Chain A
Amino acid sequence: MADESLFDFLHNEIVNYILDKDDNKSNEGKEEDLSILEYIGFSTGYRIIERLTKEMPRFKDELDTMKFLCTDFWCALYKKQIDNLRTNHHGIYVLQDNNFRFLMNLSNGKQYLEVAPRYVAFTCGIIRGCLANLNIMCLVTAEVQNMPSCKFHIQVQRT
């Protein structure tokens, strides 16, 4: 499983790099600037989705797309499926991963909770990028209450 670990390590290093760079600039903002990390995710998602949907039939609707995201897509990325998908059928989707890969090795409780955003920003970007390429413009936020469980909130922007 060397390849998987490689992905984890690379991700961790990217996170560190971004934070380092942020430190060097100015630390006036209270919150860490994870936008670059998010953008890296966005770009990745935007590109990878072309490959991952190649063999897929055309998605029927938004929900169909979300289901794909939870199953095939998540498997391709994290070797597991999303554990729970909920929606209000009005453009809000909540994807819950009870054992999120990037948090799995960090903690098993509330320790390090304050650094959790660093490890979900990339994935938020990926989701947003994928959906953007699938012509669903959305806002993606993540919520971590108890590691390694993570909830991704997708808020579709209707025009």
Chain B
Amino acid sequence: MRSSVSYILSSSTSEPNMSHPDYEQYSHDHASLLVLVKHIGTQLKPKVFSKYFDRISKLASVRITDSTGTVRNILLRYVKEYPVENNDWGDFQTHRRLLGLISLGKYDSQQELNEICRVHESFKVKYNTTLFDSRCILFGPTKDSESPSDENPTSSSSGDSENSSENKIEKYTTPSNFKTRALFYDVSSACLDLENQLNEFVNSLFWVLDSKRVERSREKLERVSLLLAPFEKKDFVGLDMESRNNKKRCTGRMTKHLGDLYLQTGLLAESITYYSQAVDILKSINDWLWLGAAYEGLCAASALVLYPDMQRNVPLQRNASLQEGSPRKSSQTPPAIGLLNKKTISNALIPEEISKKYREAIIHYSKYQNAGIIETEASFKAARITVEQSHALQAASFLQNVVYINLQLSEQEKIQRFETLADLYSQIGFCRKAAFCLRLAATRYVSPQNPSPNWSRCYALMLQSLSGHHLNLDPVEMRAADQGWPALQIQLIQELVVAARRTGHSALATRHMTFLLQTMWPHLNSTEQKELAVQLQSLSAQCEGSPVPLVLDSGLVVPPANLTDIPLCAAFTPKDLQSHLRPRRIESNKQDTGPFLFTPIHFGGGGSLDRRSRKSISKLDFLWVQNEMCEVQLKLVNPLPFELKVSNMRLLTGGAVFESLPETIVLPPDVPTSLTLSGWARESGELELSGYSTHTLGVKSNCRLRHMPVSSNFPPYYKVQVVPTLPILEVSTTFPTYVSFSNFQDENTVTSASVSLYHGESIECTLTLKNISDVPVEMLDIEINSILEHSLQDQIFKWDNEEVQKLLPIPPGESIGVTLLFHSAANFLAPNVAVSPTIPQDMSSGPFSSMSPSIPGGSLPSRYNSSFRSTNSGQSSLAAGLTSLFQQQQLSTSVEAQLKLKYSGSEGLTSEYCRSCSVFLMLDMTPSLQVTNWDVLPAETHSQFYLVLDIANLTGQEMELQYTPTKTMLIEGHESCRVPIPVDRCPLSKLSGLYQELNEGNVDARNEIDVNKICSEHITDLVVLKWHLLGSDNRGVASLKGITLTSRMLDIVRMSPLDWEVKINGDVVKAQEEVTCEAGDCLNLKMSIVNSLQKTLQQLTLSVQFYQDYENGTLNYRMDTRLATAGCTKKLFSSLEPQAAVDHECNVIFFTPGYYKLDIQCCAPECLTAPKINPLISQGHVWRFTPTVSFQVN
């Protein structure tokens, strides 16, 4: 836009040029009458003055009807200052002439009044070349110092000054030489007629001006003298004034001047005509400066036609209420005029032309260095028009031009220039450019060239420029927006910090520095980070930063900033309570979770392609307890290269009331440090953990998770459910704790108890439960967990639950003791004895048979919270023989179990929560004795039998064994001995049920086992092996539980369902007695059988058989050559009624001497009644007469 021939026509001398640019000008001001409103004296408060100034300014246009009846719209412009130098340009552009003067002053005395008048007069003299008229508004003394109210000057004065002063204020009069019309008012009054007075004043100005216009327009154009711009005066010295060119110049300039006057007097159409003529004339003689002015006039007039309503921003009416009473007539331009203008004035430029012509004007101006200010102003005016036309780019180019104009300006003027530019840029929406200008203006305020630096203005402008740099003082919004031009932003904030500090706002400086470190952290390199942190430290030394909003005088609120990156939080993990303190639901009823909802399509957020940000779960799946210490573990990293002390770290929470415990930590550089923040929830309900607070580098910060860098992936908060208070029990036992590791000890375990017992030994343990909380324990549940079967478990661990319940409640501080009985239950039977493979687990339970197939090896699936471990797991296939047994006897077995305590109380109980803790129990079971072998022998009496046991003492000590109530014996350590124990035979009553079944035909394999079981239990009940280790004085009881019996044994053990009576030669055969006879003797055998069962036996076969026992395991039944029998050796009874008896007789002769045995048996063939399902087992039952009868044949 700049002319390429810039400055060529300008002289380089320091000619008087306009040194005071008026950036506020609008093109409309070309048409307005300039009025200076002057504040005189110190009595009138500036605030009151500006209030009146605003009020006066409202009268921006006045409609005056001239002599021809035409309504002229007269515009007015009021200024508070007007450099007299600018007046000199009045010839060039008449709107620069100051036409009117209104001064305002307040007086309390005549003396002051005189002074005001004197000053007013001096202003009149100063501007006397152009001034047409003036008014002096005088505010008299307030009432209390004044005369009565009727003399109040408020009501004064539509009349002239003399009158009003005479009539109203007798005491105070203006000096006689004061020729100005004075208006007397009271400061506190409404000054109702002020507008009328002003109107009248404007009228007077207009009429003078209009008369001048008329006068000028009547002058002969050829005769007029040359109009000059101030700096031109020298240029035209000595020029030929009569030349044709010069004539034209005179004419052209005068025509332009007339245009100005017509424009000012409201004759738009005429002014446009004059301007157009002037353009033509001036163009022909290359009078560029004036051509420019003519163009500008043309544009101004056209703009007035097109955009009559274009106005400078009306200042905010802060005192609007005060002015409510004041009339507002004629103060605003009725819009109708604009419409009227557009229709009637056809010669105005079209909008596009205006900016084009302005451009030309500016180019022409730019050729004169001395016209710099005119050019600047024209650029602003043009920009304002294009703003009105909303041609942002054109406006921008006009504004851009301003910057290039090289002017000798004061710093203040430079600043104003930038501020005006910024204002206009922001009007066209160029917020970045505006911000740039604001920042330049701000730096100018404090530049070294500026004689009076103004840091607070600088600061204010810096603040304004923030938005243009995408900076928002709220760190939260900054984080959200993250629109990075970080390099610029960092610089700007740093400048802001400096400005704030120099202004004396230490708090703000600290705040801004904190903000910088919070929001720009990722964009700073480590050196910058360190430097800024150090700076912050020194700033905060003057004023500590804290997370509260700061309110500036301007009303601006600076939101809190927090050091979220110093220290850097790498992890924020709320900790569950220690397992044994965790609250648990008492009733673990499965919650009915509503219908399963599934959203198949998940739309990625907007246009973001970032997959890294994943939502983390914020609702924690554990519970905290009211009034109990809760912990959050933080992992902090100090990113700064020096040691950082962070004090007063607390948790930030929401929801339930929380009391946080402050922590202080010193962080070495760059080493992740863990820190636990703790506190107490003082209320039950939902607790939100939203972050933590810190105090470091002199700044208190609230670091909230949701404001943390996205990369750290924190949820906005963690939610924890806090349950009401629960008691805490401290558990101890009388037994030593078990120190070594066990996989059976889970985190729930609070203590342990271990004891070593010999098999069969019992011991009492007292469990002490102390309530260490402030609330009573009202509920207590004890249970044992192990992998043992319940029956065995119940044998090993015993307590009296009712007794426990009686001890409740446990008041705070009190303790109770619970007695727990340990019994070392074991299988005392050596496994090498043949047992039926079909024996179920419950019969052979005990450590030796604990290798249930569900537990492979010794490793336990982790889901078992209780387990059973056998240390001698390798011996599942125990080899027979004592030797191996003794070798193994060192290997004791251990039983591990968990004593689970569930307890609750207080409010926690009402809301159905309890705690659970467990005691780890370790029971070492050492073998005491073992029955390595057993057998049964018929006793002398029918009602008893002998149980013969091989008992091995597996201990190293001497053992006293009491195997019957009366008999004891001593067994040396590692010795074995055999004891016969008389036992009552298993009565039929125990077995009757079995036979009932048998009769009904529901016979199957189970029968044998059932019989076995019943008999085994029978023996177990009767045989008690009390042992006493003499060395260590341990006592215990061994049981034969699980003893298995072969069917042969069974027949001996149980009472026979048949009562036998065998007579040989008439003598009843007694047990254990031998029958002696000679070979060849005939012996008469008489057998009678009585059925003692409750049912009839069918198809009973009685058989008699002799055999020889070689006592080497061989039984010889082939007796044909050795003996002969007479009579049946077999007899079938078709049925035997209960209690009925049958008899059988036969005879026998032994041929050779020897030892013979007689086997008498009865066989009831179940196979006949039952279907032959399993002939191998269901061979029918055989009852023998026991003991077998022996014959010694001599």
Q: Hey, which bits of chain A sit against chain B, CB under 8 A?
A: 28-35, 38-39, 42-43, 46, 128, 132-133, 135, 137, 139
Contacts and interface: CB of A to CB of B under 8 A. Distances in A.
Contacts of B604: 39, 42
B599 to A, nearest CB: 8
Contacts of B601: 34-35, 38
A28 B607 contact: no
A132 B606 contact: yes
A31 B607 contact: no
Interface in B588-625: 596, 598, 600-604, 606-607, 609
Interface string B621-641: 000000000000000000000
A39 B604 CA distance: 7
Nearest to B596: A28
B600 A33 contact: yes
A31 B600 contact: yes
B607 A137 contact: yes
Nearest to B601: A35
A101 to B, nearest CB: 22
A33 B596 CA distance: 15
Contacts of A39: 602, 604
Contact of B598 (A29, A128, A137, A139): A29
8 contacts: A34-B601, A35-B600, A35-B601, A35-B603, A42-B604, A46-B607, A128-B603, A133-B607
A33 B599 CA distance: 8
Nearest to A141: B601
B990 to A, nearest CB: 57
A46 B609 contact: yes
B607 A35 contact: no
Nearest to A128: B603
A29 B598 CA distance: 6
Contact of A43 (B596, B598, B609): B609
Contacts of A42: 604, 609
Contacts of B603: 35, 38, 128, 139
A118 B602 CA distance: 15
Contacts of A135: 607
Nearest to B600: A31
Q: Which 9 A-B pairs have the closest CB atoms?
A: A29-B598, A35-B602, A132-B607, A31-B600, A35-B601, A33-B600, A39-B604, A43-B609, A46-B609
A38 B601 CA distance: 8
Interface of B: 596, 598, 600-604, 606-607, 609
A31 B598 contact: yes
A38 B600 CA distance: 11
B606 A29 contact: no
A75 B607 CA distance: 24
Contacts of A29: 596, 598, 600
Nearest to A121: B601
B609 A34 contact: no
Contacts of B602: 35, 39
A135 B604 CA distance: 15
Contacts of A34: 600-601
Contacts of B606: 132, 137
Contacts of B607: 46, 132-133, 135, 137
B598 A32 contact: no
Given A35-B602, A35-B603, 5 more contacts: A28-B598, A33-B600, A38-B603, A39-B604, A43-B609
A29 to B, nearest CB: 4
A31 B597 CA distance: 11
A120 to B, nearest CB: 12
A32 B609 contact: no
Nearest to A30: B598
B243 to A, nearest CB: 58
Point out which of B598, B602, B607 has the most chain A C-beta atoms below 10 A from its C-beta.
B607
Contacts of A30: 598
B594 to A, nearest CB: 14
Nearest to B597: A29
A129 B613 CA distance: 19
Contacts of B598: 28-31
Contacts of A32: 600
Contacts of B596: 28-29
Nearest to A35: B602
A32 B599 CA distance: 10
A43 B604 CA distance: 10
A132 to B, nearest CB: 4
A31 B599 CA distance: 9
B235 to A, nearest CB: 53
Nearest to A124: B601
Nearest to A22: B600
Contacts of A132: 606-607
Nearest to A38: B601
B1052 to A, nearest CB: 64
B972 to A, nearest CB: 67
Point out which of B596, B600, B606 has the most chain A C-beta atoms below 10 A from its C-beta.
B600
Contacts of B600: 29, 31-35
A42 B606 CA distance: 11
A132 B601 CA distance: 17
A133 B607 CA distance: 7
A35 B604 CA distance: 9
A18 B394 CA distance: 56
Nearest to B606: A137
A146 B598 CA distance: 28
Point out which of A28, A35, A133, A135 has the most chain B C-beta atoms below 10 A from its C-beta.
A35
A128 B598 CA distance: 22
A107 B602 CA distance: 28
Contacts of A28: 596, 598
Contacts of A43: 609
A130 to B, nearest CB: 11
